[in-house]
């Protein structure tokens, strides 16, 4: 992957404002990756499309890992999703991003070890691959800092 590549991503996504200006270690802690998960770096992909209500699922906040999250039995799930979607953007700090650790998910390691509770960052799960652009590749662990693509003049 290279800067500027347009790719399709799936999995959890969040808003850019929750990773902007933060180091790899801070991003690990905030998003709920085990310590050292980003030691080999990460790629940031900004979404180029907003998923429809049916194309994403709720994942609440990163302080409850997605494998522990239980969707509420609330009849207004569509309202919750509509409210979330209304807060998203394709530009600026409300833009959606997917963080791709260079160290991918390891099915041989328990989910509780790989994904401890994070710091309460809102997150959602794509139900289909979403189109996005690679805007950053960070490799200098632990202190590399993500500079928002729009601030860096790349998006």
Position 24 scores a pLDDT of 97
Among all chains, which residue has been given the structure tokens 């080999």? 40
Instruction: Collect the ranges in the chain with pLDDT lower than 70.
Output: 64, 149-155
Position 150 scores a pLDDT of 54
Among all chains, which residue has been given the structure tokens 């799936």? 10
* 99 vs 97: CA distance, rounded Å: 6
CA atoms within 13 A on the CB side of 101: 23
What is the model's pTM?
A: 0.89
Burial of 76 per CB tally in 10 Å (0-12, 13-18, 19+): exposed
User: Would you say 98 and 9 are in contact if contact means Cβ atoms under 8 Å apart?
Assistant: yes
């Amino acid at each position: 992957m290279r800067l500027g590549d347009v790719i399709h991503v799936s999995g959890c996504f969040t808003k850019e404002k929750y990773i902007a200006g933060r180091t790899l270690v801070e991003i690990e802690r905030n998003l709920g990756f085990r310590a050292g998960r980003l030691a080999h770096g990460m790629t940031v992909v900004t979404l180029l499309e907003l998923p429809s209500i049916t194309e994403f699922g709720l994942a609440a906040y990163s302080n409850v890992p997605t494998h522990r999250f239980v969707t509420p039995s609330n009849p207004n799930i569509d309202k919750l999703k509509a409210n979330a979607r209304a807060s998203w953007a394709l530009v600026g700090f409300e833009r959606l991003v997917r963080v791709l650790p260079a160290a991918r998910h390891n099915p041989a390691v328990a989910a509780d070890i790989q994904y401890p509770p994070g710091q309460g960052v809102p997150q959602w799960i794509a139900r289909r691959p979403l189109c996005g652009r690679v805007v950053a590749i960070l490799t200098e662990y632990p202190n590399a800092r993500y500079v928002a693509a729009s601030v860096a003049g790349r998006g």
